[in-house]
C-alpha cells in the first residue's frame, strides 16, 4: 500500500511538472520575471517544509556554502533558459532537449567526482545524442535558435544536478532545495526592473499556481514519494515529464511530430539506463 502511495505521488508530481510549460506560456511574462514570481510564491512553503524536516538549526548550518550557492545559481539559469525557450520553440522541442540534463549530470560526476564510467553510461550517452539529433531532424538537421536555448537549458539542468549532488553530500536534500529557491529569488529580482511587462489578476493567479502547485506542492509529492519508493524508480518515472508535456502541448495546438516523439523516447531510455549502477 505504501509503495502504491509513493508511485501515485511520484506520477502526480511528474504530471504537474509536465503541465508547467503551459503555465509559463500562458503567463505572457518574460522568462526571468516568471521565474522570480514562481520562486517567491513557492519559497514560504518550501522553507516551512525544510525546517519541519531538518530543524531550523540544521537549516542554517551552511558549511560548505559554495555547493548551495552554485546549485542555486544554476537553478535560476536553468529555469530562465527553459521558459525562454518555450516562448520561441514548441513544447516538444524544448522538453526533449531539456532532458539531456540528467545525462550531463552523470558525465560531470564521472569527470569530477570520480564515479565509474560504466558500460551503461556509454549506451546512455549514445542514445541521448541520437535523441537530440533525431528530434531536430526535419528534411535534414534543423537546429534553430529556440532549440539552442532549450539545449542550454538542458546543459544548465545538468550542472544543477551535479552541484545539487555535491550539496546533498553535506546538507539535507530538502534544505538544499529551499536554499536553491531562496538564492534564485535574489538572482531573478533585478530582472523586474529591466523588463516592461503587464501584471493583471489573471497573471497573478497563474504565477501563484506556478509557485504553490507546480513548485511547492509538486516538490512535496516528490520528497514524500521517496519515503515509499526507491530513488532509482523515482528517477525513471521523472521521464514521464517529457510525454506529459507533449500531451499538454496539444491544448495549445502543438502536435509533436514523429521525430520529436522518437527523440524524446530515446532520451528517456538513455536517462533510465544511466541510472543503472
Tell me, what's the pLDDT at 268?
83
Cell of 72: 542555486
Residues 6+ apart with CB under 8 A from 205: none
Q: What is the pLDDT of residue 1?
A: 60
Reported as a single tens digit per residue, the pLDDT across 63-116 is 899 999 999 999 999 999 999 999 998 898 898 889 888 888 878 888 888 777
> Average pLDDT of 164-193?
93
Structural domain count, the chain: 1
Residue with cell 493567479: 205
For residues 41 and 224, the answer to whether their CB atoms sit within 8 Å is no
8 A C-beta contact, residue 255 and residue 136: no
Does the structure show a pLDDT above 90 at 9? no
Whether residue 102 contacts residue 158, with contact meaning beta carbons closer than 8 Å, is answered with: yes
pLDDT for 275 = 66
Q: Residue 208 belongs to what domain range?
A: 2-274
Q: What percent of the chain is predicted at pLDDT more than 70?
A: 94
Taking alpha carbons only, the member of 83, 90, 68 closest to residue 248 is 90
pTM value surpassing 0.85: yes
pLDDT in tens, 215-274: 999 999 888 887 787 766 777 777 888 888 888 888 888 888 888 888 888 888 887 777
Q: Which residues contact 39 (CB under 8 A, 6 or more apart)?
A: 76, 181, 184, 185, 188, 211, 215
Residue 40: is its pLDDT beyond 90?
yes
* pLDDT class of 140 with cuts at 50, 70, 90: very low
CA distances from 177 to 84, 149, 155, 244 (A): 22, 24, 19, 24
| pLDDT-derived band at 139, boundaries 50, 70, 90 | very low
Please give the radius of gyration of the chain, using alpha carbons only, rounded to the nearest integer.
18
The answer, yes or no, to whether residue 213 has pLDDT greater than 70, is yes
Tell me the C-alpha distance between 176 and 161, whole Å.
12
Share of the chain above pLDDT 90, in %: 42
The angle at the Cα of 166, spanning 164 to 170, to the nearest 5 degrees, equals: 105
Across 55-69, 81-95, 142-156, 201-215, least confident range = 142-156
Residue 13 cell numbers, joined: 508530481
Mean pLDDT of 162-181: 91
124 burial (CB, 10 Å; 0-12 / 13-18 / 19+) is: buried
Residue 277 has pLDDT above 70, yes or no: no
DSSP-derived letter for residue 217 is: I
Residue 22 pLDDT exceeds 80: yes
Residue 17 CA, chain-centre distance (Å), reads 8
List, in sequence order, every residue forming a beta bridge with 141; answer none if it has no partner. Answer: 137
DSSP code of residue 79: H
Residue predicted with more confidence, 145 or 117: 145
**Between 61 and 75, where is the model more confident?**
75
Amino acid at each position: 500500500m505504501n509503495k502504491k502511495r509513493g508511485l501515485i505521488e511520484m506520477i502526480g508530481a511528474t504530471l504537474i511538472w509536465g503541465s508547467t510549460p503551459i503555465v509559463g506560456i500562458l503567463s505572457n511574462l518574460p522568462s526571468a520575471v516568471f521565474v522570480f514570481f514562481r520562486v517567491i510564491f513557492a519559497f514560504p512553503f518550501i522553507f516551512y517544509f525544510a525546517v519541519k524536516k531538518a530543524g531550523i538549526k540544521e537549516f542554517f548550518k551552511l558549511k560548505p556554502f559554495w555547493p548551495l550557492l552554485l546549485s542555486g545559481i544554476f537553478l535560476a539559469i536553468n529555469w530562465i533558459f527553459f521558459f525562454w525557450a518555450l516562448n520561441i520553440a514548441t513544447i516538444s522541442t524544448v522538453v526533449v532537449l531539456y532532458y539531456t540534463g540528467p545525462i550531463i549530470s552523470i558525465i560531470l560526476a564521472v569527470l569530477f567526482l570520480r564515479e565509474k564510467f560504466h558500460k551503461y553510461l556509454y549506451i546512455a550517452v549514445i542514445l541521448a545524442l541520437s535523441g537530440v539529433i533525431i528530434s531536430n531532424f526535419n528534411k535534414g538537421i534543423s537546429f534553430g535558435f529556440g532549440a539552442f536555448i532549450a539545449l542550454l537549458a538542458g546543459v544548465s539542468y545538468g550542472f544543477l544536478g551535479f552541484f545539487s549532488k555535491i550539496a546533498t553530500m553535506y546538507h539535507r536534500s530538502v534544505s538544499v532545495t529551499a536554499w536553491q529557491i531562496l538564492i534564485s529569488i535574489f538572482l531573478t529580482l533585478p530582472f523586474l526592473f529591466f523588463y516592461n511587462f503587464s501584471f493583471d489578476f489573471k497573471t497573478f493567479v497563474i504565477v501563484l499556481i506556478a509557485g504553490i502547485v507546480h513548485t511547492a506542492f509538486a516538490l512535496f509529492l516528490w520528497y514524500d514519494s521517496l519515503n515509499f519508493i526507491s530513488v532509482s524508480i523515482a528517477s525513471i518515472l521523472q521521464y514521464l515529464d517529457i510525454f506529459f508535456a507533449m500531451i499538454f502541448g496539444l491544448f495549445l495546438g502543438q502536435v509533436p511530430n514523429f521525430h520529436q516523439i522518437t527523440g524524446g523516447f530515446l532520451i528517456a531510455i538513455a536517462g533510465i539506463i544511466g541510472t543503472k549502477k
